[in-house]
Each structure stands twice: as structure tokens, then as C-alpha cells.
């Protein structure tokens, strides 16, 4: 990696670390924050040099455009520590590229790769002791960009702020999920921003998800915006369906996020000889498979949870239960991904990235 940017990164360290106040054996997800964060500002048509400062509050004018027009994109990543105390990332360049794809769609400036990668590495080396080593734990990393310029006029901002904040975290989900197939609300639409990691995408999910929770479900399975006949995503995750011994997932589109975990599952499954189909799959096909016994598994896939098995789903006031299997694709694929992430196995795909 070139030192072009890292030589310019300034670091302001905290006087007193709060790490000794953290119970690393009992970490909630995303609620504890490290001592420092990386900050970089866009102004006058260019990004300033990144700097690392103590984690803390941000001061913004009430007219800041993030509050009024929602220009905000983010990524979700993790850093892992292996048995030798080395730090690893998983496909970080994919996160960097997707952040810029999201930024472009929201008329925001793209961030140079070096600013992202070298800023991230510098931050992780500084916060190395914050990376937990308890089972299934990791350092969750949240890079994000938002409009910081002022003005009530409905137009793109002239100023933006890029921040990377980190949170030592335990597992995102515990156990299996019971989900509701959504028949009215839509997560995204053709020509929209569903493929981008825009904050507004997630805000729009909360209300339908709350309605599902009131009915006894934990998450929503999103369907297409036009007919509500085709399965698209599960909550904030991509979704996989196993019918007999074939793994099926929807193709990416304007409406569906190009998930990094999703892509990894597809590659690993194919490498293991599992039949994979990337195609549209209808609710009717899933109901039929459940009725005839060929529906074996459903699971969500994303950075935070890696893989979340689904125990059953609701549709048109009826519940469907998935079978209990001894050897699931979900468990096998999750183990293979996490073994790569934590440097417990060989990485034939070249996904693991060493932070030094």
C-alpha cells in the first residue's frame, strides 16, 4: 500500500482510554465505541487529509443538509484478530467500491481508495487492543459519509464528512428468525436507491418491521414493489432459499443490495459442489415447496450476522415451519466464511486482508 496518504494522517490520541470500562465477555452489538474515530472533510471540491481524533460528538448547524435531504451512505465491515494476535479484514476493497457506488447514486463525492484503506488501517492499528477475541466477536467498523453543508434549498450539499467509527461487538443475532413475507410495503423500487447503502433505505424499513414484530415475527421478507410475488431480501440482509439441494437467491438489481456476504456464499457454495441458482423466486414457489416437503432451508446473509437461519415464515395469515436438519447449508457455509475471516483456514479466494 502506498504511503501517499498515511504520511499525512494526523493522530490526536485520547488522554485516558475507556477500554478498561468495557466487559469484553459481554458485548452488545454496536453499542460500545472505541477511543478514536477517523474524520475527513470534503470542501471546495476536494477531500482534506484524513485525521484520527478522539471519538466524540459532532457539531452541525440546524440547516445542515443531512437533516433535510438525507444525503447519507454507509458501509458495514468487521476486523478480526486471530490466535497470533494479527488483525484481518474481509474483502475490504469491496466495501470501499460499494461506498463510492452508493455515494454516486446520491450525488455525493466519491472517496479515493487510499483515503479509505490507509485511514482504516491507521485507525485499526491504533485501536488494536479494542478488537475482541471472545467467541463470535469482532470489531464492527462503520464507515459513513453525510452532507454537512448548510442550506434549506433542495440541492446537493457543497460539504461532506467521512467518518470511520468502530465498535467491539458480540454476535448480531442469536437463534433462528421467524419472518413475515411483506405483501403491501416495499423496501425499494426500480430506478431507486435500493442497491445503495443509503440510510433512508433502512429508515423506510422500520415501520413495516415494527408491524411484523407486533404480529410475533422478528423480521420482514421483502418482495418486489410491483406485484409482491417475488422474494428479494430479508430485513436488512440478502436471502437464500434451499429447495432440495439447490441454493437459490435473487439477482441483484436497482432494488437489491450487492451484498459482500452474498457474493461470498455463492462462490463458496459453488466451490463445494452445491448447486446455486441466481434467479427470481416467487412466493408461490416457496409455498409449494413447503407444502411438498422440498423446502429445506431459508437464511439471511449480511456482514453483521454473517448467516441468520430462518425457522419459519408467515404469509396471508398462515404460518409455515421449516424442517429441523442436522447438517444445514447455513451452518456449513457460515463456518467456512468465518474460518476465513478469523484466519482459521486457508483462503483460496484471496478475500482475507492483513492489517500491518
Predicted confidence at residue 1, as pLDDT, reads 34
Angle at 234 between CA 233 and CA 238, to 5 degrees: 55
Identify the pLDDT of residue 4: 44
Does 177-341 match 6-169 at the fold level? Answer: no
The helix/strand/coil state of 179 is strand
* 85 vs 82: CA distance, rounded Å: 5
What's the pLDDT score for residue 37? Answer: 98
Q: What is the mean pLDDT of residues 248-254?
A: 96
May I ask the CATH architecture of the domain 177-341? Alpha-Beta Barrel (3.20)
How much of the chain, in percent, has pLDDT values that exceed 90?
96
Position 3 pLDDT exceeds 90: no
Q: Are 167 and 55 in contact (CB under 8 A)?
A: no
The band of 8, judged by pLDDT with boundaries at 50, 70 and 90, is: confident
pLDDT tens per residue across span 310-320: 999 999 999 99
Residue whose C-alpha is closest to residue 15's, from 53, 50, 58:
53
Average pLDDT over residues 214-239: 96
pLDDT at position 171 is 84
Q: Is the pLDDT of residue 352 over 80?
A: yes
The answer regarding whether domain 6-169 maps to CATH 3.40.50.300 reads no
Work out whether strand 72-74 and strand 275-278 pair parallel, antiparallel, or are unpaired: unpaired
Report the candidate in 37, 71, 29 with the shortest Cα–Cα distance to residue 57. 37
pLDDT tens-digit readout, 63-94 = 999 999 999 999 999 999 999 999 999 999 99
Region 159-163 average pLDDT: 98
Q: What is the pTM of this model?
A: 0.95
* Assigned C-alpha cell, 199: 440510510
Q: Is the pLDDT of residue 6 over 70?
A: no
- Enumerate the domain spans of the chain: 6-169, 177-341
Amino acid at each position: 500500500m502506498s504511503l501517499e496518504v498515511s504520511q499525512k494522517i494526523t493522530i490526536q490520541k485520547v488522554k485516558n482510554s475507556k477500554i478498561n470500562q468495557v466487559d469484553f465477555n459481554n458485548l452488545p452489538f454496536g453499542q460500545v465505541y472505541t477511543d478514536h474515530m477517523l474524520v475527513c472533510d470534503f470542501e471546495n471540491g476536494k477531500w482534506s487529509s484524513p485525521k484520527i481524533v478522539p471519538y466524540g460528538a459532532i457539531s452541525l448547524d440546524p440547516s445542515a443538509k443531512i437533516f433535510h435531504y438525507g444525503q447519507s451512505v454507509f458501509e458495514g465491515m468487521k476486523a478480526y484478530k486471530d490466535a497470533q494476535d494479527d488483525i484481518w479484514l474481509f474483502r475490504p476493497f469491496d466495501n470501499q467500491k460499494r461506498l463510492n457506488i452508493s455515494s454516486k447514486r446520491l450525488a455525493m463525492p466519491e472517496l479515493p481508495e487510499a483515503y479509505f484503506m490507509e485511514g482504516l488501517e491507521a485507525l485499526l492499528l491504533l485501536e488494536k487492543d479494542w478488537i475482541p477475541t471472545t467467541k463470535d466477536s469482532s470489531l464492527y467498523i462503520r464507515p459513513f459519509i453525510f452532507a454537512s453543508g448548510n442550506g434549506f434549498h433542495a440541492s446537493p450539499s457543497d460539504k461532506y464528512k467521512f467518518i470511520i467509527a468502530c465498535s467491539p461487538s458480540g454476535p448480531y443475532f442469536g437463534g433462528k428468525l421467524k419472518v413475515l413475507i411483506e405483501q403491501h410495503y416495499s423496501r425499494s423500487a426500480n430506478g431507486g436507491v435500493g442497491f445503495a447503502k443509503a440510510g433512508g433505505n433502512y429508515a423506510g424499513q422500520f415501520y413495516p418491521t415494527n408491524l411484523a414484530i407486533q404480529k410475533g415475527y422478528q423480521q420482514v421478507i421483502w418482495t418486489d414493489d410491483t406485484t409482491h410475488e417475488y422474494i428479494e431480501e430479508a430485513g436488512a440482509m440478502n436471502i437464500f432459499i434451499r429447495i432440495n439441494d439447490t441454493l437459490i437467491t435473487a439477482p441483484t438489481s436497482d432494488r437489491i443490495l450487492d451484498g459482500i456476504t452474498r457474493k461470498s456464499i455463492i462462490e463458496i457454495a459453488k466451490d463445494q459442489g452445491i448447486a446455486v441458482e441466481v434467479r427470481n423466486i416467487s412466493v408461490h414457489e416457496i409455498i409449494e415447496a413447503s407444502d411438498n416437503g422440498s423446502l429445506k432451508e431459508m437464511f439471511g446473509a449480511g456482514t453483521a450476522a454473517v448467516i441468520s437461519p430462518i425457522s419459519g415464515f408467515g404469509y396471508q395469515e398462515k404460518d409455515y415451519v421449516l424442517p429441523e436438519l442436522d447438517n444445514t447449508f447455513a451452518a456449513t457455509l457460515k463456518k467456512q466464511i468465518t474460518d476465513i475471516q478469523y484466519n482459521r483456514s486457508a483462503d483460496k479466494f484471496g478475500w482475507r486482508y492483513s492489517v500491518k
